[in-house]
Structure 1
Amino acid sequence: MTPLRRVEGRVLPLPIDNIDTDLIIPAAHLKTVARAGLGAHAFEALRSRPGNPFDDPATRGAKIIVALDNFGCGSSREHAAWALKDMGIEAVIATGFSDIFAGNAFKNGIATVTLGRSAVETLLEAGHNQSVVVDLETMTVRTSAGEIFTFTLDPFRRECLIGGLDEIALTLIREPQIAAYEQRVGI
């Protein structure tokens, strides 16, 4: 996993509550175990509507989604995190997340940042003409206009994201202890 210390750029504003995993990646695209290519199908229902934020040139290449409450609710499909990662998303800011989605996002190197409603509304507005920085080291979100919002993140998840440590890398860190144990018990 690539270390994630800081994400900077425009935001993709999705001022919607209860964005579920079916909206993130439709069920028709769940037959694959390949992660590549899912980003092209992310948010198909929203992308089909005229005037959607995905067609706005100002959001092209956005690495940060800003949404309202209960982001990632619905089913437990990891494909939702895969689709976001494939479309270049590195952080999602919302007033709340589904626990399962937040776990899947973390395992795929996406930061989930929870902020209060007024901060999220400020970021939704700022996303139209300002850049935003999500800094995992200082645990702040900053706009180019100077607004700063602090957030908390589980220390283990923060350490893993900053260090680029997925489950395999965490196991490999313990390789000397694992080898010593295997030698001790005769494996």
Structure 2
Amino acid sequence: MQDWRRDRITAAYRGENPTVLARLPESFAVIGDVQWLPGYCVLLTDDPAVGRLTDLPREQRLAYLESVERLSTAVEQACASADPAFRRVNIEILGNTDPYLHTHIFPRYEWEPADIIGGPVWWYPRERWSDPTTALGPQHDPLRAAIASRLTRTTDVQEDPAPRR
């Protein structure tokens, strides 16, 4: 079996990507390989040929962005319930390293270092991305389950009652 990290999207379709939380429109919601910010998730496009948001036709683009909203809301709700120091989520579509469309959902916390808390997570040292002490593992199962549960609740997605002006 090929390492699922080499082709995360195909592995998700095959049921071999262990980070998958849910299948959403135009995407797969996955929990991050590292959890130094507990609850870190990524939304992967379901088409590895899609390199940027603008590659999608408008209807699919809007569906993908709705999935971003669903995942970020699930992360926000689960992290706020799990840690009183939860502050907010940061949402980023970068595309600088991986060639396929994906969106990072970073929970942010009051306990983060003062010199980093007000900036992007990329201010953290690079070593954070490969630190075995924060690698995804069984200790993250409760938060993972809480995020997945919130993703499957259709009642969490509510329409605005009236248009905004």
Give the TM-score of the pair, scaled to structure 1: 0.26
Q: Which structure would you say has the larger Rg?
A: 1
